[in-house]
Amino acid sequence: QQDELAESNSNPQTPAEVIAIQALSKIPSVGCVKYASPRYEFVSTENVARDFDIVRAVVKNESFNFLGKSYGTSIGARYAQLFPDRVGRMVLDGVLPVELDLAAVTKGQASGFEEAFRHFSADCGSHDDCPYAGNASQVASKIRNFIQGLDASPLKVGSRNLNTSLASSAVLSYLYFPAKDYPKLRSALDDAVNSHKGASLLALLDNRTGRQENGHYADNSTAAFYAVTCLDRQYAGTVADVGSLAKQWQTTTPTFGPSLAWGMLSCSNWPATGPKPTQSLAFEDTAPVLVVATSHDPATPAFWAKKLAGQLPQSALLTWDAYNHTAYRQGSGCIDTAVDTYLLRGTVPSANLKC
């Protein structure tokens, strides 16, 4: 069923396609009810933060020291809100805001990945093994057109077909870490475009999602993603609401906006409710928290980190000027030294340090 959902048309255009994606979008919630009742009702980030405080108490630590990256920042921020007097040395790298609803988070990520795709396209065009020549806009447009054409002419890969949805997901999943990802993505696109072989591109996606050769998945991380996200960021949008957003985002973020919008449908009317997101967070005084941002982070845009740093008393904002998802241990000695010094010695870097 996970394959079926991944392969489904992620940007439906006809009434029949909309009906199909509406039915398939229920796969995660039906699976949670069938296989994880009643546990799926209690996997909110707030409950995870409370679990961490139980662990802190069991090991008899007076304070909670924590390094959270990406989704982990939500756990840390929620902990700081719930237990401000127990915060020790806390680093939040690549902030995913706990207070935003699903549409706001998805819109921010659509913009982030659109920027990352333009950056990849510019880089791709400067290499001989890029499937297309031209500037960033030209290469991006050609790759986008190629991917969109795969529904009409999918590439056969064994018993599977590389269609638009799978190819788009593969490209998005390799925009996180340019130094490691771009060469692999460039090569896989070259195979698909010039040799009409989709195996490499499909293998990239399988690697990211943990899909094994036998069709099974290495873990339940995708199911857990839906369970946590849909509980944290309840979404009551209708099919019409999602379709309207998809059309809007087609204009501003054409590469991934529509598919990300339609992806929200899986959280619509989730069969359990968690704490409702609020548009602002109130924090009491805590120990100094180090908030880390990457200036061009596709999944957790830097302005989210800046906002959290402004909400947390005594926080310090550390920014890496780079294209990457998260910053710590990602190639910046400046970032690593500042974070290590803070974690090991408690020394907070100067305000708004940039690396």
pTM of the model: 0.95
| CB-neighbour burial class of residue 159 (10 A; exposed 0-12, middle 13-18, buried 19+) | exposed
Q: Tell me the pLDDT of the chain averaged across its residues.
A: 94
Instruction: Give the residue, 303 or 277, on which the prediction is more confident.
Output: 303
Q: In what order do the strands lie in the sheet with 289-296?
A: 64-69, 87-93, 289-296, 316-323, 353-354
Predicted confidence (pLDDT) at residue 50 exceeds the cutoff of 60:
yes
All structural domains of the chain, each given as residue ranges with its CATH number in brackets, are: 2-35+101-267 (no CATH), 42-99+278-354 (3.40.50.1820)
Q: What integer is the mean pLDDT of 210-217?
A: 93
pLDDT digits (tens, 9 = 90+) for 280-325: 677 888 899 999 999 999 999 999 999 999 999 889 999 999 999 9
What are residue 203's phi and psi, to 5 degrees? Answer: -65, -35
pLDDT digits (tens, 9 = 90+) for 161-185: 999 999 999 999 999 999 999 999 9
CA distance 226 to 30: 11
Q: How confident is the model at residue 352 (pLDDT cuts 50, 70, 90)?
A: confident
Peptide bond into 38 cis (omega under 30): yes
